[in-house]
Amino acid sequence: MIDGGPTLARRLERYRAATRAARRFDDRPAASVPAEDLAERLADAVDGEVVVTREGTIVRRETPSRPISIDRDRLASLPGQPPPAVPLVCLDTETTGLATAAGTVAWLIGLGWWEAGAFRQVQLLLPDHSDERALLTALATSIAPEAWLVTYNGLGFDWPLLVTRYRLARRAPPHHGGHLDLLPIVRRLFRHRMENARLRTAEAELLGLHRVGDVEGWEIPGRYLEFLRGGPAEPLADIVRHNDQDVRSLARLMAHLQERLGDPAQRFAAPAGDLAGLARSFARERRLDEALACLDAATANVDDRPTPPAAAPAARTASIHEDPWWSPRRPPDFGGRPWQASILAGTPRTAAFDAPWTSERIAIDRAHLLRRVGRHIEAADAWEALAAGPGRTAILAAVELAKLREHRLRDRTGALDATLHGLALIERRRRLGRPEPSLEAQLLRRVARLRSRGAVAARSGRAPGPDVQRSGGTIGTRGSGASPAHRSRTWSNDGSNEQAIVRRSPARALR
């Protein structure tokens, strides 16, 4: 203390007094509360029962079964879904943090499965850290070896965390037949018409359910840790209801999928974006005919009415400028050139999901699929329609049209026309101040090669139109009976490697 200044003890006492109301500060260690007392208080608060085993004590809570019907055969017809005969176990956890490292514990595990046509739910709660082995044993006995897990972001968080807890206990995690994570499915099919892909948002947009008085996720670790210090157990009842609703929403989302998209007769009445996302899911499993049928239906249902521009990048830029220096959202300043807002506030990672499914975007996917199924004439018509439109997409469509005419339809004259059309579009964009040097270089090389092949054909006495097949086999798609020369590598008449030029083309930019 200097000149009567406050001592360290006095300053700490002031700090405790200022934060006691906000944090309910408690100096008592967790060991001062008996484990049996914690289990009894927790069971009374959540209306559960105390289960005592040789490995420890847990609290088990079971709610009445609810009639949530699901047609497993229709669900299995969708891409990425489990077989109809295997059992399904819906799983959701509540933890002491958002990491999957050794310091994070899953203290509440919600389970749900179908039994006699109804959905049955059971929750396992951990009253103290020392009883974790009993919780892990109860979870292992609830998952059959042939069962599939159904989670929401479980592949990235819930299940890796549980695997970590089993390994720290020197035990093997329970075996299961497969894992169905609904988060990627919701993103692929419905993200285009939702604000975000959170489970609560999916409930509101897809199921019409709105939670009232629900606990926020960031509050869950603090409430549980306060209970371990000897605090009241009543605040955990809200978390238990939150977990119960999460598990039940997993079952309702699966019922929604099989009801709206599982029946081919009702599927085509869905929004165009849902059908386009389903088409991509079918295409990933090489079910191209079903994918093409979805895109044909999406073309008829698409709504191209103008929508207001997304405010996410602008809001992100504004928040960065307005954030204080200590905010984690503010970029660090290491000196050098000043930070440019246009660089950091570019296209976010979720732009692919946020982008609306317009008729142009659906037509691009449809043109790619037509080529994959071997309907080359229809694919050429689709690319030609896109090449007649505006913007950079028309240039890329002209490139795809030229490749299709040259390599599949054997029409060098048509390929040269498409290439020259792409160069004309590039010249137009240059005059507007939007040059495309990379695409222009590719098209110029293609023009030179097509003209040289036409000159060689003219000198040899052949018509400059469609090529004569070199190997005698039929021309088709990859794996459809094409000759080895056309399946692996295509050589031009002057000996140049045509496949190398195709690989440098911007085909993936249209996907």
Cβ neighbours of residue 241 closer than 8 Å, sequence gap 6 or more: none
- What is residue 20's predicted lDDT score, i.e. its pLDDT? 56
For residue 338, pLDDT over 70 is answered with: no
**Overall average pLDDT of the 39-66 stretch:** 93
Q: How confident is the model at residue 481 (pLDDT cuts 50, 70, 90)?
A: very low
- The two tokens of residue 472 are 């005698």
- What is residue 504's predicted lDDT score, i.e. its pLDDT? 40
Angstrom distance (rounded) from CA 240 to CA 46: 7
- What is residue 332's predicted lDDT score, i.e. its pLDDT? 58
Q: How confident is the model at residue 395 (pLDDT cuts 50, 70, 90)?
A: very high
- Would you say 95 and 274 are in contact if contact means Cβ atoms under 8 Å apart? no
For residue 314, pLDDT over 50 is answered with: no
**Interval 417-442: pLDDT, tens:** 999 999 999 999 999 999 999 999 99
**Interval 266-312: pLDDT, tens:** 888 888 899 999 999 999 999 999 999 999 999 887 765 554 444 44
Phi (first) and psi of residue 360, to 5 degrees = -70, -45
For β-strands 148-151 and 88-95, DSSP reports them as: parallel
Weakest-pLDDT range from 162-166, 330-334, 376-380, 484-488: 484-488
Cβ neighbours of residue 461 closer than 8 Å, sequence gap 6 or more: none
- Would you say 221 and 97 are in contact if contact means Cβ atoms under 8 Å apart? yes
